[in-house]
């Protein structure tokens, strides 16, 4: 959330968007809502940018799409992977498979289930009493 707010703030400052700090805080706070949060945070930002002019509206929309793609495809898997001791590629694969099989519920459960499977496999390989 903090990283997203900071990046959005810097981007909005770069395109001279009014109320950049407030809008960046909105973008950051809405990230707490999985899946739809970034979309909800984008609506008021793009709406206000469109009121300033269609060119600014398009610049801001493209910027926010790029931020969301980088966050969801690069940053989030890397952070989750570090916290769960999984590679980012494993997290991405788990997210893709789980979302295809179980929809939005799968997205929420993908990372913890992948971590649990890894832990079970580690225990099975090394023996259940010999963990170290």
Contact 30, 40 (CB under 8 A): yes
What percent of the chain is modeled with pLDDT above 70?
92
- Whether pLDDT at 130 is above 80: no
State residue 127's pLDDT score. Answer: 60
- Residue 54 CA from chain centroid, whole number: 27
- pLDDT tens digits, residue range 61-75? 999 999 988 887 777
- Whether pLDDT at 129 is above 80: no
What residue ranges do the domains of the chain occupy? Answer: 1-74, 85-132
């Amino acid at each position: 959330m903090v990283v997203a707010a900071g990046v959005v703030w810097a981007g909005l400052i770069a395109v001279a968007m009014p109320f950049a700090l407030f809008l960046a805080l909105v973008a950051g706070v809405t990230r707490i809502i999985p899946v739809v949060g970034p979309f909800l945070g984008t609506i008021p930002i793009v709406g206000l940018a469109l009121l300033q002019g269609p060119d600014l509206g398009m610049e801001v929309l493209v910027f926010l799409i790029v931020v969301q793609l980088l966050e969801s495809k690069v940053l989030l898997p890397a952070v989750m992977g570090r916290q769960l001791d999984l590679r980012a590629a494993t997290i991405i694969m788990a997210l893709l498979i789980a979302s295809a099989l179980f929809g939005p519920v799968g997205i929420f459960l993908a990372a913890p289930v992948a971590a649990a499977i890894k832990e079970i496999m580690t225990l099975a390989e090394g023996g259940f009493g010999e963990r170290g």
